[in-house]
Amino acid sequence: MASPFTTYLHDHLAGARFAVSLLEDLNAQTVDADAAALAASLLPRIRQDRAVVEGLLDDFCEDPSTFKEMAAWFTQKASRLKLTLSKPDGIFEAVELLTLGVLGKLALWNTLRTLEPLDMGPTHLDLGSLIAGAESQHAALEALRRRLAIKAFAAESGPLRSQDARVAKA
């Protein structure tokens, strides 16, 4: 039976696999060149971070969770129905998911740093570099997410503009 800690690591591994798949899809889309370029630059870094989590599970002699692997695969495939990467709003949502995922990864690295002095965390990782990398990834994704929000929503004359008009009349 898996410990709560290894279950936590399996959850992060499933999230990393989902992120890699989503980045591959973003890299392949042709609607937004900035999103494709950022996805291409993040892919190797996210794969390296995923390998760190895989290594931690190896350290604990834990095999991958087949159920979580399948869930990540299914979620990624199902997300293609929702995240239409042929439209700006779908690209925005994909980038927002990645932004949140990187915050989750940052939380993982900070958790490991918290456990380190208690001799509960891994001692062979450069957690400072991992934390700085996640912060850098988040900053890049957040900047892109904000730019995409304008592209996806500000030009529409629908609900946002209609609501503004109602508020102005009141």
- The CATH number of domain 4-169, selected from 1.25.40, 1.20.1260, 1.10.3470, 1.10.1060: 1.20.1260
Retrieve residue 82's tokens.
């929702």
Retrieve residue 2's tokens.
């898996």
Retrieve residue 60's tokens.
């604990």
**What tens digit of pLDDT does each residue of 111-153 get?**
999 988 777 666 688 999 999 999 999 999 999 999 999 999 9
**What tens digit of pLDDT does each residue of 64-119 get?**
555 555 555 555 555 555 667 889 999 999 999 999 999 999 999 999 999 887 77
> pTM for the full model?
0.82
Please report, for the chain, the start and end positions of each structural domain, with discontinuous segments joined by +: 4-169
Unique residue bearing structure tokens 């973003």: 26
Retrieve residue 41's tokens.
């630059």
